[in-house]
Chain A
Amino acid sequence: MAWYNYLIIGLSLLSIFMVVWVIRQHKKSEKLEQLLKHTTKKLERLQVHFGRFTPEEVIEHLTESGGGYQANMRTVTVLFADLKGFTKMCNEMDPQQVVTILNGYFRSMSNALSVHHGQVTELMGDGLLALFGALRPNPWQVQDAVAGALAMRNALAEYNEELKEKGFPELAFGIGIHQGRVLAGVMGNFELSKFGVVGDTINIAARIESLTRVHNCDLLITEEVRSALDDRFDLKEMPALPVKGVQKPVVTYQVQGIHHSWSA
C-alpha cells in the first residue's frame, strides 16, 4: 500500500475517534445540564419552602455567598401563648388524643396568626411563640400582633365547639405580647442551625403570659405595645406586678376586644 493509503486510513480512524469523542462529550454535557437544571429546580423549591421560615435576604445571602449571615438587631413584636391546665389534661387523657387535640389547636392558631402577618417560630410543648416583623420590616407589627391574638381568641372558641362535640375537654390559653429589640440571625452549629431571634423581649413576653393566670384573663400586653397601638382596641389597665428580669413592677393591659365604633 502506498503511504497515502496509510494516511487516509489514519485520518479516517482519527475522524471516527473525533466523532465518537464529540458525541460522548455532547452526551456528557447534556447529562450535566440536566443535572444542573434538576439541582437548580430543587434549590428553587427549597428556597420557596425555606422562605416561610427565614427572611429572603438571609436565604439570598446564604445561597449566594455561602458565608455566615451577619446577625443584626431588629425591632419585633413577640406573642407568646400557652395552654392553661394542659399538664393535668396530659395526665388524665390518652396520649394519642392529647396529640390530636394539640395538633388541631396549633393548626387553628397558626391559621389565625398568619392572616395577621404573624410567623409561628417555635412550638414548645403546648407553648407557641410567634413573631411579627422578623421576616421583613412591618410598620404595623404591634397592631397585627394584637389583632392576631384576638383572632386566636375567636379561633379557640370555634375549636372548643369542635372539641365539645367530640366529647373532649375545652382548652383555655394565656397570651403575652411584648415589643422590643432582638438579635436576629442564623443560630446553631453545623449539624443544626436555624434562623431565630434571641433577647430579653422573648423572655418578657413569656413572663407576661404567665401573668394572665394572676390577673385571671387571657390576653395581656405591655406598655411598649400599648403605646404603639391605635385607639380601636379596648384595653384595661392591670395593677403593676413584679416580673423576673425587669427591675420595676410591670404594668400590663388586658385586651378586651375592639371598640364597637371600630368593629361596626
Chain B
Amino acid sequence: MKEIEWGEPTLPIVHIPEWEEEVKARMGKVPDILKRVSRIPWLRMAILRWPWYQAQEFSRSLSDICALVTAQENACRYCYGVARSQLRLFGYSEKMISNIEREMQMADLDEKERAFVQFSRNLSRSNPRPPKADRDKLIRLGFSPLAVAEMAFLIGNHCFVNRVSTFLAIPPMAGLERLSDSLIGRIFRPLIARKIRKLAWKESNVLNGSAESFPGVVQALRGLPAAKALNDAFQGAFESSVLSKELKVLMFAVVARSLECSFCEQETRTMAADLGFSTEEFDRALQALTSPRLSEQERKLLEWTRETIHFQPGPMQRQTRALAEEIEEEMLLEAFGVAALANSTVRIAVLLD
C-alpha cells in the first residue's frame, strides 16, 4: 500500500445535513467519501449502496475477495486499505490476504475461486477485456451464467467506487486500517465483523419494464438486484442536469471506443442520434474529442475521459487537480461519476461479447 502514490483530495467536503442524517441512520457515521460526493444525488446514492452490494449467486467470501482484488488492480489506495482491513476483521489471515495479492497459487483457494480471482483481475484491468472463453471457463467450473453476470457487475461496481475514490483522492481510513491489527480489533473482531456485515445492501425492488440507457447491459443482469441498481445509476446520471446529456453520451462513447466495445459504442450512437447528432457529427466529435455542442469546460472533460481508462493514481490525481482549477466543482464531481460509470458499464458489457 505504501507504494501507491496518493495525493491530497481533489474536491472539498460539502455538508448537506439531510444527506448526512440519512447516511448516519444507515451507517452510524458519515465516511469522508460520502461528504465529498454529497452534491450529486445519483452519485452519492451509488457510493452509499454499491460497495455494500450483497451478491445473490455466489458466496460472501468471493465478494470479499473481489473487493480486494479490484482495488489492488486499480491501485486505489483508499479502497485497498478498506478492503484489506475488512478482510482482516472478517477473519482472513495476513498470509491468506498476502497470497491472494501476490501469489494466488499459494492461496488457500480452490480452482473455482482461483478462476474467479483471475477473472476479477482481467476484467478490472481490461487490457484487453477478457474473452468469452474466460466466462465459459467459470461456467464449466460450476458457476451459473447468472452468477457470472453478477460477478461482472460486482467487479464493475468495485471499479466504479475505485475510480471515484481515486479521482477524488479520498484520504485512507487510517482508523479502520489501524483497528484491524490492533489488540482491540482482534478481541472484538467477531462483533466488528458482524456490524460491518449488517451494512450489506440488498436491492429489494426488481426492475420493472425495460431500461432506457444501455438496455442490453441491463438486460444481461436481468433476474439480479444488480439490474435495478445499474438502471437507477443510469437514470440518475442521464437525468442530472449538471453536465449536458451530449457530454455524458460522448464520455460513454470514448470509453467504449477505447476498450473496443462495439456494443456500447453502438448504444451511444443511438443515444446521440436521439439528441440530434448526425452520424458524421458524432464520428467527428469522437475522432477529435470535441464538439460545438459542448461548452469549453465540457470539452476539457471529454478530453480527460480517455485518461480514466488505464492510469496510475498519482499522475491521474495531479491531472484532476489541475482540471479542478478550470472546471466548476459540481461539474467535475459529476464527471468523475459519469467516467467511472462508463468504465464500469463497458466492463460489464463483456457479458454481451
Contacts and interface: CB of A to CB of B under 8 A. Distances in A.
Given A143-B288, A230-B287, A137 B103 contact: no
A31 interface: no
B287 A40 contact: no
B310 A136 contact: yes
B306 interface: yes
Contacts of B288: 143, 230-232
B21 interface: no
B239 interface: no
A185 to B, nearest CB: 17
Contacts of B257: 139
A139 B103 contact: no
Given A56-B127, A57-B128, A232-B288, A139 B102 contact: no
Instruction: Report, as a range, how many residues of chain A touch the other chain.
Output: 10 to 19
Interface string A230-254: 1110000000000000000000000
B318 interface: no
Nearest to B310: A136
B260 A137 contact: yes
Contact of A139 (B258, B284, B290, B310): B258
Contacts of B127: 55-57, 136
B202 interface: no
Given A36-B103, A139-B258, A56 B289 contact: no
B245 interface: no
Interface size class of B (residues with CB under 8 A): 10 to 19
B1 to A, nearest CB: 13
Contacts of B102: 37, 40, 44
Nearest to B296: A264
B125 interface: yes
B125 A143 contact: no
Nearest to B101: A40
A36 B310 CA distance: 29
B258 A40 contact: no
Interface string A209-233: 0000000000000000000001110
Interface in B218-242: none
A140 B128 contact: no
Contacts of A138: 258
Contact of A40 (B103, B128, B306): B103
Interface in A40-89: 40, 44, 55-57
Interface string B238-278: 00000000000000000001101000000000000000000
Nearest to B265: A139
A56 B98 CA distance: 22
B343 to A, nearest CB: 15
A145 to B, nearest CB: 14
Contact of B306 (A37, A140, A230): A140
Contacts of B289: 140, 143
Nearest to B260: A137
Given A36-B103, A136-B310, A139-B257, A56 B125 contact: yes
Nearest to A264: B296
Contacts of B260: 137
A232 B288 CA distance: 8
B75 to A, nearest CB: 10
Contacts of B103: 36, 40
Interface in B78-111: 98, 102-103
Contacts of B287: 140, 143, 230
B271 to A, nearest CB: 19
Interface of A: 36-37, 40, 44, 55-57, 136-140, 143, 230-232, 262
Interface of B: 98, 102-103, 125, 127-128, 257-258, 260, 284, 287-290, 306, 310
12 contacts: A37-B98, A37-B102, A40-B102, A55-B127, A57-B128, A137-B260, A138-B258, A139-B258, A143-B289, A230-B284, A231-B284, A231-B288
Closest 10 CB pairs of A and B: A230-B288, A40-B102, A230-B287, A139-B257, A56-B127, A136-B127, A232-B288, A137-B260, A40-B103, A230-B284
